Amino acid sequence: MADEAPPGGPAKKRRVQAVLFMCNFNAVRSLAAEAIARHYFGKSIYVQSAGIRVGEPSDPFMVSALDEIGIDASRHKPRTVEQLEEWEGLNFDLIVTLSPEAHHKAIALTHTLAADVEYWPTPDPTLKQDGTREQRLDGYRDVRDGLTYRIKSRLKG
């Protein structure tokens, strides 16, 4: 939701106070988005992440890619949207979805939540199973770097 635009000017997005990153399993993309957002904005913005399904452990390739830039995500415990809602509620003013399935789930959630939803199509680096460890890690680095850029651009005050 945008604030009123000044006469003749573009609408200004309101400042985000609480953001939820959603993906399929909360093990790769949303894990990275949460860790990056916490690293850069954790003192000024409440940040969480969740998946729409349960069952995947944190991906060691993404944990390594984040570690390369000084972000420790090794203690991340994947959780579902339902678990997060049960533990603390879903009090977010922005939900960022990183996969089509998560986007559909977020749209359904906003029937009862007053949150904006933004879809950031983000490739799934786990789909590339061939190549060397370094080649596979490059896919995770690309996701990490793309998310870092978008998060910094969108969440800066």
Cβ–Cβ under 8 Å, residues 96 and 21? yes
Q: What is d(CA 12, CA 111) in angstroms, rounded to the nearest whole number?
A: 24
Mean pLDDT in the chain?
A: 90
Confidence label for 2 from pLDDT (cuts 50, 70 and 90): very low
Give per-residue pLDDT as tens, 20-54. Answer: 999 999 999 999 999 999 999 999 999 999 999 98
Model pLDDT, residue 13 = 67
Q: What is the pTM of this model?
A: 0.89
Task: Say whether pLDDT at 140 is over 70.
Answer: yes
- Quick one: tokens of 26? 């909360």
Task: Say whether pLDDT at 148 is over 90.
Answer: yes
Give per-residue pLDDT as tens, 110-131. Answer: 888 788 999 999 999 999 888 8
Of the candidates 98, 74, 95, 78, the one whose C-alpha atom is nearest the C-alpha of residue 146 is 98
Model pLDDT, residue 52 = 96
Task: Say whether pLDDT at 133 is over 70.
Answer: yes
Task: Say whether pLDDT at 5 is over 50.
Answer: no
